Amino acid sequence: MSETDKKWAARAKRWAVLFGIPLIMLLVGMWQWSRAGTSVDVQATIAAYEQVVQELKAIEETSPRGRATVKDSEGRSVDARLMRSRYERALAELKAGGLNVTTRNLQPTLAGCTMAFSVLALLWSAFGVFYQSAMGKKAMQSREQLLATFEKGRKLLPTYMVVMVLLLFAAAIPLLVYEMMPILRHNRYSKGDMKFMLVLGGLALFLLFSGCKVLWDVWKASRKAMENEPIEVMGQALAREKAPELWAFVDRVAAKTGAGMPDSIVVGLNEGFFVTEHPVRLSNGSMVPSGRVLYLPLPYMAFLNAAEVASVIGHELGHFIGEDTLYSQRFSPIYAATINHLVAISGGEKHEESWMDFLRRPATLFGEMFLDSFHEAVRFWGRKRELAADAVGASVVGPQAVASSLLRITALEPHVSEALEMNWDQGQTVEGGIVGHVRQLVASKGMADPSQHLENRQSHPTDTHPELAVRLDALGVPITPELLGRAMDSQGSRLLQEFGLEQGAAPAAATGSTMAGSVAPAPVVDVNAALQSELTSVAASARAAKIAELQEIAALGREQTVIYERSWFQTGLFVFFTVVCVTGAAFLFNSRNGQLYGVGVLLAGLACAYFAFLFSRDGKEPALVLAPEGVQMFKAQELLPWSAIDDFQFTQANHMLTITLPLEQGVVPPALGVGRRRGQYVKKKHRMVLMLKGVKKMKNDAFAELMVDYWRAFHARRELQRMGVQP
């Protein structure tokens, strides 16, 4: 399926929900309308009933011994006295008036309300889809239109979603109240009637309360200030006097691009190169002064030459020319505000799934569609601006240097990620810290082949970059052996020493690029060492907290747990059917011409007895064995490892618990040794499906939690081992 087909399929599913739910309620309302009929003319009905009663009395008087019969509406013969008694009771009810008449007259009104609000919800859905489509097309015209359109949409979205929820609630409340009307007309209420009325009335009141709560939650969400959350980075802000060579280098690049200078330069050990005007918080808790911030990662700079670094900085400063950072800063609040409204509509941050989500879903789904449309437009313009920024970088040192930097960063990225992961998770550092570790990895493993990663996008904390192949194509630079050779050259550079960011004497000669230059001897400071010390401290604290959490999880599934099915309900049910069938067969055998039917009923009883035996046997054999390494299912000879299970799905219905286990790719499922009524492997979806008749001595929810705990404990032990800790 192509990307376009997938897109339309996803859109069709959303439309099915958006229009399907109000359509279902409309159909229910129409069904109720057909049952309600029209309002009753009480006096005319009383007169008609009195006439029928008189006619029935006359029929009784003319019949010998009062055994007269009459035909009912279905053509069946009914005793005239019984029919007269029915009409007299109905006549008494009509003469009493009050609730009887009121409930009858309310039914068409209630059904009409359900239909009216359902139709309004359908029209509201159509209006929303049309408006959003027009908004998306307008956003593709320019970034100014994008911001203006979606800022307007952000303000209208809460109102739209609230109206959608209220329309559906307004349709559902009369739908529920309608079903109470026939019960209210009874002369005497049974316990079942009372329970049903309480349920319906409680649901209607709960819907009314939920509608008010939605209004309150959305009002609170709309009052939240739209703030840009700071970007968290591991780095240090360098003043000009602390790194004059670096600042002078950036000065020269900025002069060539015509872009303004950043207000702050931050160097760090993670992330990629980026510029931003978002608030930036350093790992030590201090905030970088507000304004334009340029972030430079030392592990990459240790391998890029001056021309390549200049091309990357030129690219980043190019974002200032198009005011990309300002646009990004304005985009974020729209996302945040929309998400706040979605959370409010869905029931709040502590919301748990319930049947109420059925009525909220069209509104939340529309909010998701709004976000997707906004994201698509932002990505469209973001990609254009990234290619424009590449052109700015090329204006500094030429497209060849830009292409070289892109490929070289791609070739380095796996080693940088590995060094950071080792430092964070295993607490392993080498001489020279992260930068030194990357140098060791490059020396021992060589650089990754960037030609194998042309579909990759470079990491960035605020924007989405186009694929590497797209960027190279836009630059007009083919991937030649010489370009790949440079990208995979394991030789590092001396820029960190030249810029005074790492201890070590800078070479006397220039680095081969006119961009390197020199303004003054770099001060003797080791920013790399200081950053590494800071990173090690933060990583040690994070590692200790993670280990403590993993050890707590790993302790959950240490022993085997044998699970038996709770099959007494099914066994008892089929035993009851067996007794009924055998008893019925005995009566049929003793009756005239009933022997043949008796044989059939007896065979049915034997079948029920067989099923009762099967269910009883199922409850005596272990259904599952939960072990630290995996789960043994029914009569399988081997465990299914926990590592083979991708996810869990538990559903309950009719005293049955169904467990669905999607499997990881390439896993060969074990043979279960039981029939399809208990478990099977669904090859098309690559998943195991197990059907249990409940669990002995345990509630289904507790069992589901236990099974997931074993799975989590297994993965926690593996993670601890990877971190070098004995589980």
Range name among 280-289, 441-450, 546-555, 563-572 with the lowest pLDDT average = 563-572
pLDDT in tens, 341-381: 666 666 554 444 444 556 677 777 777 787 777 777 777 87
> Which helix (H) or strand (E) covers residue 489, if one does?
none
Percent of the chain with pLDDT over 70: 79
> 487 pLDDT exceeds 60?
yes
Q: Which two tokens stand for residue 342?
A: 């979605």
Range name among 18-32, 481-495, 571-585, 586-600 with the lowest pLDDT average = 586-600
For residue 627, how far is the Cα from the chain centroid?
A: 30
Range name among 168-172, 233-237, 340-344 with the lowest pLDDT average = 340-344
Percent of the chain with pLDDT over 90: 22
> 301 pLDDT exceeds 90?
yes
> Residue written as tokens 């920024």?
389
Task: Show the DSSP H helices in 567-671 as ranges.
Answer: 568-590, 595-620
| pLDDT at residue 408, rounded to an integer | 92
| pLDDT at residue 338, rounded to an integer | 67
Quote the CA–CA distance of 13 and 20 in Å, as a whole number.
10
Tell me if 244 sits within 8 A of 193, measured CB to CB: no
> Residue written as tokens 């007895």?
609
- The more confidently predicted of residues 624 and 68 is 624
> 511 pLDDT exceeds 50?
no
pLDDT in tens, 570-604: 788 889 989 988 888 888 777 767 777 888 888 99
Tell me if 442 sits within 8 A of 490, measured CB to CB: yes
Tell me if 650 sits within 8 A of 658, measured CB to CB: yes
Residue 565, burial from CB neighbour count under 10 angstroms (0-12, 13-18, 19+): buried
Confidence of residue 625 (pLDDT cuts 50, 70, 90): very high
pLDDT (average), residues 84-94: 76
Confidence of residue 325 (pLDDT cuts 50, 70, 90): low
> 13 pLDDT exceeds 50?
yes
Mean pLDDT of the chain: 80
| pLDDT at residue 554, rounded to an integer | 92
- The more confidently predicted of residues 703 and 176 is 703
Identity at 101, one-letter amino acid code? V
| pLDDT at residue 662, rounded to an integer | 93
Tell me if 583 sits within 8 A of 602, measured CB to CB: no
Confidence of residue 521 (pLDDT cuts 50, 70, 90): very low
Q: What is the 3-state secondary structure (H, E, C) of 190-230?
A: CHHHHHHHHHHHHHHHHHHHHHHHHHHHHHHHHCCCCCCCC
Quote the CA–CA distance of 516 and 335 in Å, as a whole number.
41
Q: What is the 3-state secondary structure (H, E, C) of 529-592?
A: HHHHHHHHHHHHHHHHHHHHHHHHHHCCCCCCEEEEECCHHHHHHHHHHHHHHHHHHHHHHHCC
| pLDDT at residue 512, rounded to an integer | 39
Give CA angle at 310 (309, 315), nearest 5°: 100
Tell me if 32 sits within 8 A of 178, measured CB to CB: yes
pLDDT in tens, 139-166: 888 877 877 887 787 778 788 888 888 8
Quote the CA–CA distance of 309 and 402 in Å, as a whole number.
9
> Which helix (H) or strand (E) covers residue 374, if one does?
helix 357-397
Kind of pairing between the strands at 77-79 and 640-641: unpaired
Q: What is the CA radius of gyration of the chain?
A: 37
> 528 pLDDT exceeds 90?
no
Q: What is the 3-state secondary structure (H, E, C) of 695-712?
A: ECCECHHHHHHHHHHHHH
Residue 502 three-state SS: coil
Give CA angle at 211 (210, 212), nearest 5°: 90
Strands (E) located in 41-87: 69-71, 77-79
Non-local CB neighbours of 308 within 8 Å, separated by 6+ positions? 401, 404, 405, 408
Range name among 126-140, 215-229, 479-493 with the lowest pLDDT average = 215-229
Quote the CA–CA distance of 510 and 494 in Å, as a whole number.
10
Residue 626 three-state SS: strand
